[in-house]
Amino acid sequence: MSKNKIAIFGYGNHGKFIAKGLAEDGFNITIVESDKDFYEDAQTNGFDNVLFADVTKDSELKKMNLESFAQLVCVMDDEHLNVFLTLSLRSLFEDSYILSISDSLNVTKKLQMAGANKVIDLYEVSANKIYNLLDRPIATKLLEEFVHNKSGITFKEMVIPKDSFLDGKMAESIDFSGFDVLLVGMIDEELGHTFVFVTAGIAHKLDSGDTIVCLGEKEKLDAFEKLIAKKEI
DSSP collapsed to 3 states, the chain: CEEEEEEEECCCCCHHHHHHHHHHCCCEEEEEECCHHHHHHHHHCCCCCEEECCCCCHHHHHCCCHHHEEEEEECCCCHHHHHHHHHHHHHHCCCCCEEEEECCHHHHHHHHHHCCCEEEEHHHHHHCCCCCCCCCHHHHHHHHHHHCCCCCEEEEEEECCCCCCCCCCEHHHCCHHHHCCEEEEEEEHHHCCEEEEHHHCCCCECCCCCEEEEEEEHHHHHHHHHHCCCCCC
Distance CA 169, CA 163 (A): 12
> Which domains, ranges and CATH numbers included, belong to the chain?
2-147 (3.40.50.720), 153-227 (3.30.70.1450)
Decide: 24 and 3 in contact? Cβ < 8 Å.
no
Decide: 90 and 116 in contact? Cβ < 8 Å.
yes
> Taking the chain (233 residues) in consecutive chunks of 10 residues, what is each chunk's mean pLDDT?
86 87 88 95 94 94 93 91 94 93 82 89 53 45 52 76 92 86 74 59 78 84 93 84
State pLDDT tens for residues 36-61.
Answer: 999 999 999 999 999 999 999 999 99
State pLDDT tens for residues 119-158.
Answer: 887 655 554 443 343 344 555 555 555 555 445 667 788 8
Beta bridge partners of 53: none
